Chain A
């Protein structure tokens, strides 16, 4: 595995050989341990795991559980690193959620390259797990897209008039499952010894951009100072950084403040969240608006192609932001960006338009000085005034 890993805390990435056998727990015990540990989903949304488990267990239908290792975001590498470091913990977690929900239909969904090793491991463990290849696309890991892909309908997000958990299907990120496997062994209190009281436990971050070892996967407790994550990835490059994108392509820009705690609570003022732990450091010499326009353009090309807000709205929003980034000024350009962002939000089958709009709006706020400069035909980053 070429991905470099580093740990502020060491739980998941030290491998799975050191952990003893999984204790025999009942479904109710597993759910109450997940509740006491306060573990939330590590795929991005951060939803409390025990509530999903309870909902799926309570539907009264045969449950289906799916481990989700689809990591469509180019700047994310933590699920791949986890698959390499601790695949047994993932499969342990999958068996635990199957037991907690009474599921007999157990699935693993992930990148095609990961299926071979997982297949060998499943065979070795003597378990029945169906494997499914995830297309290498941004939206392929979205919860309803995962269900679609596993059911053979294609990895296309669908409308959620009935919650997926209410239909008896549990989709859980592989990192969340690995954490559960450790909670089952060492208990909720051990899990809570890392992180903050409100956001317990560790998470995997993928740190890239203007750092000396881009792509490093770091494990740390929630609330870890941003500087510690960047230091674990070799520290900032000589050019320095001006801002950091937290939460990935659907995330938000925050100031390059080494003491900023990476937790939902501390990032809320910036309308960002740790999400799936994607951290991108923006070099001081790059224009934040140009970089955001590039990402928005990528996201506009990654739409599933079924909803109007994505098909029509995202390309338009990305082009408008690109015009601002290239200083092709026209009347009311920033207002038009904000209008389009509001227009597409909340109108898709999934949150792809919302996430893209959130990123764009965050750039408009974080690089406000540069927006003004661009309207005057200048660019602060290129002039080196940061």
Chain B
């Protein structure tokens, strides 16, 4: 297989991964306490969030593995884990490594969520707000496509989507919980008036 194929695959999978991560972040920003968002029912929001996340991890793995075998990028296993030590464009590539490390922490804690507890999981999950912008910058800086109009268009589109999700979430109308659907509680279980005090 020629280096060109790996190089094209690495670039393509990197961009697809970024777009998917953007969708994941936007869905994550928009979901709160299992409420509906983006016109989707609430179970669909969390399912799409999770499935898009798993898919993006798949593309990200392809992106990293392809670069490991690419002679131009000259990436070794250390560069995958430790940032800013690479030979090719160490700063911009290092950003990718940082984003990857943060994402790995998010994925691992999500898989172990039932053992860690919701609190620990949520704290680690907030790292997504760090990982995503770093990944965005990595794409703009490290890629050999920087400066092309389409990469700028995709990156700006991603930023606008996440920005819009944040604005919507912080808006006053979001804070209100949706009305609970009408529940038909068995009338026999309704509060009784017979409650008396045994007096001293």
> Interface of A with B (CB < 8 Å)?
112, 115, 118-119, 122-123, 126-133, 135-137, 139-140, 145, 149, 152-156, 302-306, 311
Contacts and interface: CB of A to CB of B under 8 A. Distances in A.
B189 A140 contact: yes
Interface residues of B, number: 16
B196 A152 contact: no
B178 interface: no
A128 B200 contact: yes
B196 A119 contact: yes
A8 B122 CA distance: 55
Nearest to A139: B189
Contact of A128 (B185, B194, B198): B198
B198 A123 contact: yes
A132 B191 CA distance: 10
B114 interface: no
Contacts, number: 65
B111 interface: no
Contact of B197 (A130, A136, A152, A153): A130
19 contacts: A115-B194, A119-B198, A130-B195, A130-B197, A130-B198, A132-B194, A133-B195, A135-B189, A149-B192, A152-B191, A153-B191, A154-B185, A154-B191, A155-B189, A303-B186, A304-B186, A305-B185, A306-B183, A306-B185
A152 B190 CA distance: 9
B187 to A, nearest CB: 9
Given A152-B191, A154-B191, A137 B186 contact: yes
Contacts of B173: none
A359 to B, nearest CB: 20
A121 to B, nearest CB: 9
Contact of A112 (B186, B194, B197, B200): B194
A79 to B, nearest CB: 18
B194 A133 contact: yes
Interface in B149-174: none
Contacts of B148: none
B199 interface: yes
A129 B188 contact: no
Contacts of B191: 149, 152-154
Contacts of A136: 188
A122 B185 contact: no
B184 interface: yes
A126 B189 contact: no
A131 B198 CA distance: 7
A137 B188 contact: yes
A154 B193 CA distance: 10
Contacts of B183: 305-306
Nearest to B186: A305
A141 to B, nearest CB: 11
Interface in B132-162: none
A131 B196 contact: yes
A363 B170 CA distance: 53
Nearest to B187: A305
Contacts of A128: 197-200
B191 to A, nearest CB: 5
Nearest to B185: A305
B193 to A, nearest CB: 9
Contacts of A119: 196, 198
B189 A129 contact: no
Contacts of B195: 130-133, 152
Contacts of B196: 115, 119, 130-131
Contacts of A126: 200
Nearest to B197: A130
B190 A154 contact: yes
A190 B186 CA distance: 44
Contacts of B192: 132-133, 135, 149
B11 to A, nearest CB: 45
Contacts of A154: 185, 189-191
B84 to A, nearest CB: 43
